[in-house]
Structure 1
Amino acid sequence: MVVLLLLSGVASQAHMKKCTVGHPFPILHRYLQSGDLIIGGITSQISMAPNPNYFQEYPQEFLTDDTVVATINYQHVLAFIFAVDEINANHQLLPNITLGFHIYDSNFNARQTYRAIMELLATQNRFPPNYGIQNKPISVIGALYSDISLCVANILGIYKTPQFIYGETPSIPAKAESSSFYQMVPNEAYRYTGILQLLLYFRWAWVGFLVSDADSGQRFLQTVLTLLPLSGICFDFLERLKVIYDFNDFVDSLVAIYKVCMKSNATAVVVYDVEMTRFRWLLYLPEMESVTIEPKGKVWILIIQMECTSLLYQRSWDIQTIHGALSFTIHSKELLGFQNFLQTRNHFRVKEDGFVREFWGKVFECVYSTTFATMETEKICTGSEKLESLPRPFFETSMLGHSYNIYNAVYAVAHALHAMQSCQHKLRSRIDTGRLSLQDSQTWQLHHFLKRVSFNNSAGDEISFDHNGELIAGFDITNWVTFPNQSFLRVKVGMLNPHTPKDNIFTIHKESITWHSRFNQNVPFSVCTESCHPGNRKTKQEGRPFCCYDCIPCPREKISSQKDLDDCSKCPEDQYPNKDRDSCIPKKISFLSYEDPLGISLAVLALSFSWITILALGSFVKYHNTPIVKANNQNLTYGLLICILLCFLCALLFIGQPGRVTCLTRQIAFGMIFSVAISYVLAKTVTVVLAFMTTKPGSRSRKWVGKALANCIILSCSLIQAGICAIWLGVSPPFPDADVNSMTEEITLECNEGLPLMFYCVLGYMGFLACVSFMVAFLARKLPDSFNEARFITFSMLVFCSVWLSFVPTYLSTKGKYMVAVEIFSILASTAGLLSCIFFPKCYIIVFRPELNKREQLVRRKN
């Protein structure tokens, strides 16, 4: 016969030593007639007596019996039996073949596990292995715990017997052993991906970890703790739940872990590879009054196949503490036929079921009629009790979790046997070598077919293995919803499918999640520091993980538009930060326009002075025959007034949106016109000085007096400025530009001077001419008043130089359109100084005091 072995670990603590069956013989089996296949198995410890000293200090009101029963494992056994019965009823899958099985109790004991495996490999009633093997196991399914699976692998690896692990995956050091190894759970790396994706999705950057002290817990820590910092996640605490045999030490260790967990502000806590029975002990501590800290709302993230297992003394323990938890479980679907199987199976009439009576009596709290009753009120077991009436922490009628893995493992073996049988039929049809049968096959031959097996189970899920013997499957993200009557629901709220495109690996529907009541159905936060709001940036707290930080406002010129940014960013050049520094506002386009009040004011002022200049020029033209006009060189006077008029009108070129033409002309026009105007002033001053010098006897200055000298001065001085302007235009002419940096909220349209040095050269030359004019006029200030303009020119040059000396620092310290306004004001002020100081006294005499505008008056005053 060919035997399939079911093996499972203990669903209780590791200190459970003894089984009700005192040796590792099968506690549930089905033998069949010779020639048929027998699927045998080793299963979980279903009914166990604890270490006598374990609960000696524990209050008796928490213990309902002296026997601890891990009831969830009975469902594993029934799932195994259900799968075998389905296969036997399906004559198309294994025609003419009926499967049997052995189920053994591992007792969570390596020695007894080794003994059970060796007895299976030996002749019946003889212990030495390899001697007359009769019921050779063709495959082993188990176990729930990694150390038991490793014990089995140490022996089965020698015989190349396929082993299916449906619980924790052990670390197999030898390659020879791992070649016989099949995992009914996907690769561990997918679990790590799922945890990371879940934490990132909810932005839980401050996390706590509760892990077992087993190998799988250590592998988890070594891998995940290196991945978390790369994704911006820190852990607040890391606690290992160790297996402790003394009850007082066990409770003390849980109290220490509980205090760390509840004092932490980490809301999300990852629980990895921790038995549910021990996890419930941790959450039950407040009820025991072992701790005084009030429990906080936590989001428990359970990894991976944590079933709601309860021991009998935990019957009355509230399961509300795990309400709202999230768990990663292997993708599964409910098998409706399993519930019908549970309802119709008569568990008491199965003679080979060696533990059902013990299990039944404990979970239904009854005794059998053949058992001596110590109390008359004790309930008698009738066998008609319904498993579906049990609270779900004791028994689940839905085949999920480990039971689903066992079911698929049995079917994987059956499909591999079917493929092997088909291959043998084809071989037999080609050559006549006698009768071939599966009983003649070796266990190592089954690997060829298991590695290629692929089928859909009755729920429609595809079952197959990759090249490493790992199940190709994803994970369901399940939300645990508990109720006060000890019932609960597992609500599928998402999925992790690593075999889909990268963008669709992780999916979750957060609106379907029921959170712990303390969160008021709001998505919990799990961060070390409250989020930095927009407008602020993070700064690291010394001596703490990078997830802990302080928030400081962004600098004035920067913004942060999102939460928890490490640094603030600058706005684009055409935008500026708003008041809260959380967004950018488009800058306004600014230039000195005619619609601007300042522009209008300056334009009106320039036109007003221009009109006054025209009036002055008209007065001089009208009274050109009067002595005061003749005495001051009419041609120079007219030329200077026209230059002053052009200077006022030149200011209008600086108002309005800058363009290519205006930028090229306005500074050149300004420099040239002002230089010509100062040249006229210098020519008038020199003319006055020479005029008085010629009145002295024997003076040689007479030959210099005349129009030729004045024209020479004006022309030579203007040509020098024209040369400077030509060089400016040839090297780097002015051009339209936009100044985005000077003003915070505005983009100033301006004329870029091209080469600023040339602009200051123009100003410097104007200043030089003004200084020469000032000095010449200052030396001639004591000439007779009636004919002397030197005093007025001195004052005008003093005003002119003062204006332009103050212009330079003011211009450099002003920004935006106000720079242009400063230059316009300087043009108007300096030009107005020339007009008022030189011509207003003469206009006053011409218009308001004509009696003084006579030769007699001038000669008399001279005398």
Structure 2
Amino acid sequence: MCWFSWLFTLWTSSAPSLLLVGLVGRQLGLKVGLQVVQTATCSRWGPPSNQSLFQDGDVIFGGLFNLHYQTPAMDHDFIHLQNYKPCTGLEDAPLQYMYAMVFALEEINDNPTLLPGVKLGYHIFDCCGQPPWAPQAALSLAGGERDSCNLTGDSGECEELKFLLPIDNHPVPLIIGGASSVTAEILSRILGPLSVPLISYLATCSCLSDRVQFPNFFRTIPSDTYQARAIAQLAKHFNWTWIGAVVANNNYGHTAIKIFQEDTQDAGLCLEFIETLSIQNILNDARRAALAIKTSTARVILVFAWYTDVRELFLQLVKINVTDRQFVASEAWSTSSDLLQHPVTRKVASGVLGVAIKSSTLPGFENYLRALHPFHRPSDVFLREFWEAEFRCSPASLSACSGAESLEKVQNVFTDVSQLRVSYNVYLAVYAAAHALHSLLSCPNRDRPAGNRSTCSSPKHIRPTELLQHLNNVNFTTPQGETFYFQDGDIPAQYDLVNWQNTPEGTLKLVLVGRVDGFDIHLNESLIHWNTGSSQVPVSVCSESCRPGTRVANRKGEPVCCFDCIPCAEGEISTTTGSLHCDQCPLEFWSNAGRTACVPRQLDFLSFNETLGITLTTAAVSGAVMTTAVFVVFLCYSQTPVVRANNSELSFLLLLSLKLCFLCSLVFIGRPSVWSCRFQQAAFGISFVLLVLAAFRSARPGAEALIKWFGPGQQRGSVCLLTCVQIIICAVWLSLSPPVPKNDLGFHGSKVTLECSMASLVGFSLVLGYIGLLAFTCLILAFLARKLPDNFNEAKLITFSMLIFCAVWVAFVPAYISSPGKYTVAVEVFAILASSYALLFCIFAPKCFIILLRPEKNTKKYLMARCK
């Protein structure tokens, strides 16, 4: 058996491409430099289809295209020799790709500035989409093999021939081919040891960008990395956070969806499901994927798959009546004429938005295609086959074709040049190869010293290694005015964004709605027709985006894009949609009602206009009026025994201090100012000292010893002296560290309290402590004098009033400390009023009762009756 045929049969069944490279490299012994090689050759080394297109020239470029799609059945029984049959079913699109290569080569040959004096030829093979056939054709091109061996006997064994691979046998220095990533990877590994450059026009796998593994690989189509990122940007642009994905179960699909996920993981985007489609089990896989789409809540479905797989998916969706999904297409099917023309597609996939290979125009290419005629190209087997399929006649038989047949008015995929995509990639590949060859043959360092000058090549002695070096550095402007260069074998990412739209005739058309340039997307949204039939962008989210004023709260055990929206707390805001957290407002600001903005806090203080302020003001004014009324009563009855019994001068002084206490409480109400803050504490401290000195009025007529040592004169002097002490304390406090108005930002609320801040707690404590000391002394003295015999013992009344006074101010301290904002002021005002009212009612109410309502008791006889 021919070992080479057996090797490819084995590879198609199990062996990886690396094994093929190693075996072929060792068994064939092919080396750069084209030396003598001893190998086994047979008719199966060349493409089994035995169909090729050849044009001689000074330098010949190889071409590999999948021109047929119906591959012959093969029986891998490893017993009998494989007998490959030719493929059938010529495809129009790949045929156009092939003629784009021929057109470019002929255009270059006619160009007087590019490769002058050098004629380019071509040798093009049909690989039929079979993985083993492309490597066989590539090795045939790289080795310059022309002849084939003859099978001897019935055993099918090959004769071993020794043949020479001379330069004039035209081994190609470069191959344009690799119509899929799998094929391109195999070809690159096989041609790598020979340093033969391979320029692919359709292989998109990002794995091929590895220059260590594929140093001889180039392509004129962007890597899948860029289209996956472009689709990720589209998803983020339209805020699609809940997406379903259907991908091909191969390197193309898995790599694309991985890159898509990596590029969107920080944007809160989730994939509800990922279904795979395998060509070996396409029917079951498509049915499973269709059911997943039907049961999902995602309205946008991303599909990375070949158009034949997508067609089966659409058929299954129609069967279960799923027609309300928005599909996002990869470049593998976004421009498929087969899908656009299929009646099922219109029911399922109108409004498709997809990334497509960049389209361009080739001036003169349409005329070139329509001028093709088999009579002018008698050796062109592919054109003859196309002619037979198109016009139902054979050009080989003059009787069958009239000769008037022409492609001038033929409208099909082959003649459609409205949006050249892959054909333009082929065109670019030819020009890249031509410019690299031009650079190699130009010998720019010819004038350098001999020691620094590299050897200049001639068209008949082109080494693939040298061409590979120049191809890495190629940089030129295309006839269309575009700059072209390679970045480590890749080209800068450029895509079209296309939209499938319904036409009045009931068909679908392809509309260009934008483009991708590197990482920038330029999109005209007004041109897009969505699956919904309107211009409204479809919504595909697991949870609606959180509005400003709320934040995202993830649900336990669910994807990050499934969440609840929680309002921001008081004093916090969120200003953007979908905020992950709320921001704290500055101290001087507070959040508005919607929690969307920080607004200045309202200035808050104990005001005369509010209920609390009005209540306290009324109580203070009422107390002052009542004190004035008592003063008037005492003044009118100043000569009566009740008024004169306990030193009328101190009574009037006490009434005056009570009135000042009532009035000083008004100073605490209203907007604090520098002078009000100072005056209120001084007035409070001095007025209350006068109040507590009432204890010294406990002496009664007839207590001679007490009168002797503590008579009216001593009482007046003690009042003045003790009052001066408080005045000195207040003066020192207010001069060194007085209270000042200050905004209290410690209380978190929509309001900021304006209050009198105690700059020195020591001063305030001394004022309160001195009042407390006098009040306690007064209480003790009054308590000791409570049982002195008298018809009207004032000590009892003072004792009771002092108890109330002390109770109020003991309760004041914790209440003052714990009250927030303006309520601290209210607590202090309440304590002043409560203690003032206690003294007023306890000391003066009984006297006023006797004076006004029991005048019979207001006599000296009555007061002195019990003294006897």
Instruction: Name the TM-score, length of structure 1 as normaliser.
Output: 0.80
8 A contact 1:71–1:309 mirrored in 2: no
Cα separation, 2, equivalents of 1:168 and 1:259: 31
Q: In structure 2, the residue corresponding to 1:110 is in which secondary structure?
A: coil
Name 2:497's counterpart in structure 1: 477
Q: In structure 2, the residue corresponding to 1:42 is in which secondary structure?
A: strand
8 A contact 1:672–1:722 mirrored in 2: yes
Q: In structure 2, the residue corresponding to 1:333 is in which secondary structure?
A: coil
**Match of 1:324, as an amino acid?**
G
Establish whether residue 28 from structure 1 lines up as the match of residue 53 from structure 2.
yes
Which of 129, 134, 143 pairs up with 1:113? Answer: 134
Cα separation, 1, equivalents of 2:582 and 2:785: 66
Name 1:447's counterpart in structure 2: 468
**Match of 1:639, as an amino acid?**
L
Name 1:736's counterpart in structure 2: 741
Establish whether residue 549 from structure 1 lines up as the match of residue 581 from structure 2.
no
Name 1:511's counterpart in structure 2: 526
Q: Which stretch has the larger CA shift, 591-600 or 847-856?
A: 847-856
Cα separation, 2, equivalents of 1:632 and 1:846: 14
Which of 231, 247, 271 pairs up with 1:211? Answer: 247
Name 1:131's counterpart in structure 2: 165
CA apart distance, 1:222: 4.8
Cα separation, 2, equivalents of 1:781 and 1:445: 125
1:338-487 matches, cutoff 5 A: 338-346=365-373, 349-360=376-387, 362=389, 364=390, 366=392, 368=394, 383-385=405-407, 389-390=411-412, 396-423=416-443, 437-466=458-487, 468-483=488-503, 485-487=506-508
Which of 815, 819, 824 pairs up with 2:829? Answer: 824
Which of 324, 347, 363 pairs up with 1:296? Answer: 324
CA apart distance, 1:297: 1.1
Which of 634, 647, 650 pairs up with 1:633? Answer: 647
Q: Percent identity between the aligned chains?
A: 33
8 A contact 2:500–2:510 mirrored in 1: yes
CA apart distance, 1:575: 3.8
Name 1:308's counterpart in structure 2: 336
Q: Which stretch has the larger CA shift, 184-193 or 758-767?
A: 758-767
For structure 1, the residue ranges without an aligned partner over 5 or more in a row are 1-13, 54-65, 499-504, 695-699
8 A contact 1:323–1:482 mirrored in 2: yes
Cα separation, 2, equivalents of 1:387 and 1:52: 40
8 A contact 2:630–2:848 mirrored in 1: yes
Establish whether residue 101 from structure 1 lines up as the match of residue 122 from structure 2.
yes
Name 1:11's counterpart in structure 2: none
8 A contact 1:332–1:461 mirrored in 2: no
Cα separation, 1, equivalents of 2:499 and 2:295: 25
Cα separation, 1, equivalents of 2:757 and 2:445: 95
* Cα-Cα RMSD: 4.3
Cα separation, 2, equivalents of 1:124 and 1:77: 21
Cα separation, 2, equivalents of 1:301 and 1:38: 38
8 A contact 1:493–1:512 mirrored in 2: no
For structure 2, the residue ranges without an aligned partner over 5 or more in a row are 1-13, 15-43, 76-86, 150-161
1:520-539 matches, cutoff 5 A: 520-539=534-553
**Match of 1:83, as an amino acid?**
A
1:176-195 matches, cutoff 5 A: 178-195=214-231
Cα separation, 1, equivalents of 2:165 and 2:737: 105
Q: In structure 2, the residue corresponding to 1:285 is in which secondary structure?
A: helix
Cα separation, 1, equivalents of 2:495 and 2:388: 36
8 A contact 2:373–2:383 mirrored in 1: no
Cα separation, 2, equivalents of 1:173 and 1:809: 77
CA apart distance, 1:692: 4.8
Q: In structure 1, the residue corresponding to 2:173 is in which secondary structure?
A: strand
1:132-151 matches, cutoff 5 A: 132-133=166-167, 134-151=169-186
Cα separation, 1, equivalents of 2:299 and 2:745: 47
1:488-503 matches, cutoff 5 A: 488-498=509-519
CA apart distance, 1:25: 3.9
Q: In structure 1, the residue corresponding to 2:172 is in which secondary structure?
A: strand
Structure 1's 255 and 144: CA in aligned 2 closer, same or farther, altered over 3 A? Answer: same
Cα separation, 1, equivalents of 2:249 and 2:660: 95
8 A contact 2:300–2:327 mirrored in 1: yes
**Match of 1:46, as an amino acid?**
H
Cα separation, 2, equivalents of 1:297 and 1:111: 39
1:146-185 matches, cutoff 5 A: 146-169=181-204, 171=207, 178-185=214-221
1:605-616 matches, cutoff 5 A: 605-614=619-628, 616=630
CA apart distance, 1:308: 0.7
Q: In structure 1, the residue corresponding to 2:70 is in which secondary structure?
A: strand
Name 1:259's counterpart in structure 2: 291
Name 1:682's counterpart in structure 2: 695
CA apart distance, 1:771: 4.8
Which of 700, 703, 708 pairs up with 2:708? Answer: 703
Which of 788, 793, 802 pairs up with 1:797? Answer: 802
Deviations 1:121-144 (A, max 9, x none): 234225777623412213211111
Structure 1's 144 and 668: CA in aligned 2 closer, same or farther, altered over 3 A? Answer: farther
CA apart distance, 1:704: 1.7
CA apart distance, 1:76: 1.1
Establish whether residue 590 from structure 1 lines up as the match of residue 604 from structure 2.
yes
Deviations 1:490-509 (A, max 9, x none): 313242324xxxxxx34434
Structure 1's 88 and 470: CA in aligned 2 closer, same or farther, altered over 3 A? Answer: same
Structure 1's 130 and 542: CA in aligned 2 closer, same or farther, altered over 3 A? Answer: farther
Q: In structure 2, the residue corresponding to 1:515 is in which secondary structure?
A: coil
1:614-693 matches, cutoff 5 A: 614=628, 616-617=630-631, 620=634, 624-679=638-693, 681-685=694-698, 687-688=699-700, 691-693=701-703
Deviations 1:499-549 (A, max 9, x none): xxxxxx34434333322136x322222322233344443333333222222
8 A contact 2:229–2:259 mirrored in 1: no
8 A contact 2:68–2:129 mirrored in 1: no
Name 2:156's counterpart in structure 1: none
Cα separation, 1, equivalents of 2:119 and 2:781: 132
CA apart distance, 1:386: 5.4
Cα separation, 2, equivalents of 1:684 and 1:311: 113
Name 2:268's counterpart in structure 1: 232
CA apart distance, 1:713: 4.9
8 A contact 1:24–1:116 mirrored in 2: no
Structure 1's 523 and 692: CA in aligned 2 closer, same or farther, altered over 3 A? Answer: farther
Name 1:501's counterpart in structure 2: none
Structure 1's 317 and 617: CA in aligned 2 closer, same or farther, altered over 3 A? Answer: closer
CA apart distance, 1:786: 5.2
Deviations 1:569-597 (A, max 9, x none): 44433444445545545432121234546
CA apart distance, 1:294: 2.3
Cα separation, 1, equivalents of 2:356 and 2:654: 98
CA apart distance, 1:310: 2.7
8 A contact 2:307–2:332 mirrored in 1: no
Cα separation, 2, equivalents of 1:799 and 1:256: 87
Name 1:43's counterpart in structure 2: 65
CA apart distance, 1:251: 0.7
Number of aligned residue pairs: give it.
Answer: 797
